[in-house]
Amino acid sequence: MGVAGTVFCRDHRHDEPPHVWIEVMTEDSGLLIGEKGKNLRALEHVLRLLLKGKADDRFRFLLDINTYRLRRMDFIKKLARGAARRVIDSHHAVTLEPMPPMERRIVHTTLMEEGRVETGSIGEGGDRRVVIRPRDPLLAPVHPIHAAGQQARR
């Protein structure tokens, strides 16, 4: 691709879940990350294909560019906690923006210990999103409120 950079690898094969974190530091991060991390996910997929059969299948390879993924993970956790607070305060469901599977998993995991809300996913493919709703079914609304504060349309 003609992109110059420095690559760092962190071995987390003994962690749970086992993984190898590969960090690329470059001045061409925009090209490698792409819109909303689309290029980063594609590069990570290519990396997995290249390493398939050459590395232990029990652990994953996670690719990051200039700590984009770490910063995005922190943002998703804060977004999930803030949405959960809105659900608890309003007793109405909140539907988050469409997210890739890894980001949806972060929301589900972040809110797993929050006993007052539950999470689920709706939609298909690139439009799949997380819904956070009050755990008490008597408090669940008929019309969920979207993260942007707009009423859901039927």
Domain residue extents for the chain? 5-66, 75-146
pLDDT tens string, the chain, 154 residues long: the values are: 788 899 998 887 777 777 788 999 999 899 999 998 999 999 999 988 888 877 766 777 889 999 999 999 999 999 999 999 999 999 999 999 999 998 999 999 999 988 899 999 999 988 999 999 998 755 545 445 555 444 443 3
Note the pLDDT tens digit of each residue in 12-31: 777 777 778 899 999 989 99
Predicted pLDDT of residue 153: 39
Which pLDDT belongs to residue 150? 44
State if pTM tops 0.85: no
CATH architecture assigned to 75-146: 2-Layer Sandwich (3.30)
pLDDT value for 39 = 93
Residues 6+ apart with CB under 8 A from 74: none
The span from the CA of 132 to the CA of 3, in Å, is 40
Angle, CA of 10, 17 and 124, to the nearest 5°: 110
Q: Which fold has domain 5-66?
A: GMP Synthetase; Chain A, domain 3 (3.30.300)
Q: Where are the alpha helices (DSSP H) in 1-154?
A: 29-33, 38-51, 68-90, 101-111
Contact criterion met (CB below 8 Å) for 72 and 124: no
Token output for 83:
């949405």
